[in-house]
């Protein structure tokens, strides 16, 4: 890297942790850290499992999205299928499970696109993004309290919706733009 600074000039060391809340999908903790200048600071951290998101593309060049009501956003949102990696799963298993639960398909081919933190300043969720093709119908029961609509749209129509506000989901934007050069 073309900079002159070492890790020492930015490193933070955790001195103590105060556990605040243990929830169903998130935990909250407050870390006290020592800064490079010797002072201390507080860091609020949301603990969340690893996750996967999937760009499922059919043989006609359509992407299969899901529409869900999202309480934090106050309304319905159109997104690529996604979900947490469960204990004992590797990310590809989570991908195939979520595809079957959320859109009723499995995939003959998975291509890893990238892996990224969704909110690295304050959350531990690390997301693995995949392109899924060679789709065939296969249904697993979804979570009882998840209500999902499946929406099939031409891939490039959805890309144009990132600018208009019809798509407002970060993982959908990142994963579809990563997948775009891999499509025929």
Active-site residue among 134, 144, 146, 166? 144
Residue 142 is a binding residue for a second copy (CB under 8 A): no
Can you tell me which of 109, 117, 139, 140 binds a second copy, judged by CB under 8 A?
A: 117
Binding mask 2-41 for a second copy (x = CB under 8 A): xx-x-x-xxxx-x-----xx-xxxx-x-xx-x-xx--x-x
Tokens standing for residue 60: 């006609």
Q: Closest approach of Cβ 78 to a second copy, in Å?
A: 8
Q: Closest approach of Cβ 87 to a second copy, in Å?
A: 19
Residues 149-178, interacting with a second copy (CB under 8 A): 149-153, 162-163, 165, 167-174, 177-178
Rounded Cα distance between 97 and 99, Å, is 5
Which of the 8 DSSP states describes residue 123?
B
CB contact set of 26 (below 8 Å; sequence gap of 6+) = 46, 47, 48
First-to-last alpha carbon distance for the chain, in angstroms, is: 35
Rounded Cα distance between 177 and 158, Å, is 10
Tokens standing for residue 125: 């969720």
Q: Measured from the CB atom, is 103 or 107 closer to a second copy? A: 103
Q: Closest approach of Cβ 93 to a second copy, in Å?
A: 20
What is the pairing mode between strands 126-137 and 105-117? Answer: antiparallel
The question of whether 166 is a catalytic residue gets the answer no
Can you tell me which of 50, 58, 118, 142 binds a second copy, judged by CB under 8 A?
A: 118
Q: Measured from the CB atom, is 22 or 93 closer to a second copy? A: 22
Residues 83-112, interacting with a second copy (CB under 8 A): none
- What are residue 73's phi and psi, to 5 degrees? -95, -15
Can you tell me which of 89, 92, 101, 116 binds a second copy, judged by CB under 8 A?
A: 116
Exposure string over 29-38, b if 16+ CB within 10 A, otherwise e: bebebeeeee
Residues 58-77, interacting with a second copy (CB under 8 A): 67-73, 76-77
Q: Catalytic residue positions?
A: 144
């Amino acid at each position: 890297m073309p900079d002159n600074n070492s890790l020492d000039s930015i490193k933070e060391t955790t001195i103590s942790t105060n556990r605040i809340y243990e929830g169903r999908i998130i935990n909250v903790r407050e870390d006290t850290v020592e800064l490079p200048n010797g002072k201390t600071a507080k860091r609020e951290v949301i603990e969340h499992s690893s996750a996967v998101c999937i760009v499922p593309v059919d043989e006609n060049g359509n992407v299969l999205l899901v529409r869900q009501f999202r309480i934090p956003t106050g309304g319905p949102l159109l997104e690529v299928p996604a979900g947490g990696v469960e204990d004992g799963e590797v990310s590809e298993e989570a991908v195939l499970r979520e595809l079957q639960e959320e859109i009723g398909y499995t995939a003959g081919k998975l291509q890893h696109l990238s892996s990224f933190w969704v909110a690295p300043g304050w959350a531990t969720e690390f997301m693995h993004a995949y392109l899924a093709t060679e789709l065939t119908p296969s249904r697993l029961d979804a979570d009882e309290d998840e209500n999902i609509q499946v929406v099939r749209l031409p891939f490039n129509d959805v890309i144009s919706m990132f600018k208009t506000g019809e798509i407002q989901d970060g993982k959908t934007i990142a994963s579809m733009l990563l997948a775009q050069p891999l499509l025929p």
